[in-house]
Each structure stands twice: as structure tokens, then as C-alpha cells.
């Protein structure tokens, strides 16, 4: 039996283990809530993670279509990017924890050298997924910082305007000051 067949056969157990590892990266009270609350409206974070991990796993086992990967990885990473409790490495480390989940679910099968060799190749795909996750995370954080800078600039402008330190220049004066070509 090939590794891909084993992974497909044991998908439910692997994804469940992976989900638990991801959820355990949160503080204890939060992780309990994320595990127990099944209502997607009451628990959008847990639901988003759970809904994304299965398809991500499928893509790793299959061809790794970048668009499909981004579709399922982006929402998970966006959540972790806005949560200030995570450093960049902590935010994407859950990707690499899939290795642990796979090894735990394939203990017996890992006695076969051919399976071990295939697993090493599979783990390279996980590493690639981790790099994709990091790129998504950095784009999200960049957007957050741009929003914050924009908001701070607007807040400062409004404060200056209220203090009478800023005046708008009429359009006619702007036209007069422009050089003629």
C-alpha cells in the first residue's frame, strides 16, 4: 500500500489530531471553547479552522493546486494574523504540526522503509505549505499595519483640523500654483 492510500484511509483521524494540535495553541479556556462549541455562528474561529484543515490535507495528498490551497489556508491565516497572541512563527507553526499528526496515525506503517521514504517527500510538501502560509500571514499583517497607519494619519489630520492648524486650499488656488507646460 502506498503512502497516499494510507493517508486517504486515515484522513479522519489525522485531520482530527491536527485540529486538536492547532486548537491547543490557544490559551486553555479558549481551546476548550473552540473544541466544544460546534455552532459555526457561535464559534467562527473553530469552524473556520476545522473547515479548512480537511481540504488542505486533501491538497497535500493530491497535487497541491495553489488556488485551492489559498482558498482554504487564507481564512485560517487571516484569523491568526489578527490575533496578537501569535508571533509570525507561532501563527504558521500549525502547518508543521501536521507531521506529528501523520506520524502518530501511521506508527505501524512507518516500519516499512518505502512508506518512510514517501513520508519524507510528503513532509516536503508540508514544508512548502508552511512557506505559503507565511507569505499569506505577512500580507495580512502588512494590510493590518497599513490600515493602522492610515487610521492614525486620518486621526492626526482631524485633530489638526479641529485645532485650526489645517485649512483646505480652494481649487482655484491650486490651479494657479501649478506650472504651465
pTM across the whole model? 0.79
**Mean pLDDT in residue range 56-82:** 93
**Mean pLDDT in residue range 19-43:** 91
103-150, pLDDT tens digit by residue?
A: 999 999 999 999 999 999 999 999 999 999 999 999 999 998 888 888
Q: Report in angstroms the alpha-carbon separations of 144 from 49, 77, 92, 94, 111.
A: 21, 13, 17, 21, 47
Q: Tell me how far apart the alpha carbons of residues 50 and 47 are, in angstroms, rounded to a whole number.
A: 5
Q: Is 130 helix (H, G, I), strand (E, B) or coil?
A: helix
> What number of other Cβ atoms are within 10 A of residue 94's Cβ?
23
Which residue is listed with cell 497599513?
Answer: 146
Confidence check: pLDDT of 76 > 90: yes
Q: Tell me how far apart the alpha carbons of residues 117 and 98 are, in angstroms, rounded to a whole number.
A: 17
Max CA pair span of the chain: 82
Name every residue whose Cβ is closer than 8 Å to that of residue 23 and which is 6 or more positions away in sequence. 31, 34, 35, 46, 49
146-173, pLDDT tens digit by residue?
A: 888 888 888 888 888 888 887 777 776 6
At residue 175, the pLDDT reads 65
Instruction: Write out the H or E segment, with its range, that includes residue 38.
Output: none
Amino acid at each position: 500500500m502506498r503512502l497516499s492510500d494510507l493517508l486517504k484511509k486515515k484522513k479522519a483521524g489525522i485531520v482530527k489530531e491536527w485540529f486538536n494540535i492547532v486548537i491547543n495553541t490557544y490559551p486553555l479556556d479558549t481551546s476548550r471553547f473552540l473544541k466544544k462549541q460546534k455552532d459555526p455562528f457561535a464559534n467562527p474561529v473553530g469552524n473556520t479552522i476545522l473547515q479548512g484543515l480537511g481540504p488542505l490535507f486533501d491538497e497535500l495528498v493530491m497535487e497541491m493546486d495553489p488556488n485551492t490551497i489559498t482558498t482554504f489556508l487564507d481564512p485560517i491565516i487571516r484569523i491568526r494574523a489578527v490575533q496578537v497572541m501569535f508571533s509570525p512563527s507561532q501563527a504558521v507553526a500549525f502547518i508543521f504540526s501536521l507531521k506529528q499528526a501523520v506520524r502518530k496515525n501511521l506508527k505501524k506503517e512507518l516500519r516499512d522503509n518505502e512508506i518512510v521514504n514517501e513520508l519524507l517527500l510528503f513532509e516536503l510538501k508540508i514544508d512548502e505549505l508552511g512557506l505559503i502560509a507565511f507569505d499569506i500571514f505577512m500580507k495580512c499583517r502588512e494590510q493590518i499595519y497599513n490600515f493602522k497607519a492610515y487610521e492614525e494619519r486620518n486621526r492626526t489630520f482631524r485633530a489638526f483640523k479641529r485645532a485650526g492648524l489645517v485649512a483646505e486650499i480652494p481649487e482655484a488656488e491650486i490651479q494657479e500654483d501649478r506650472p504651465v507646460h
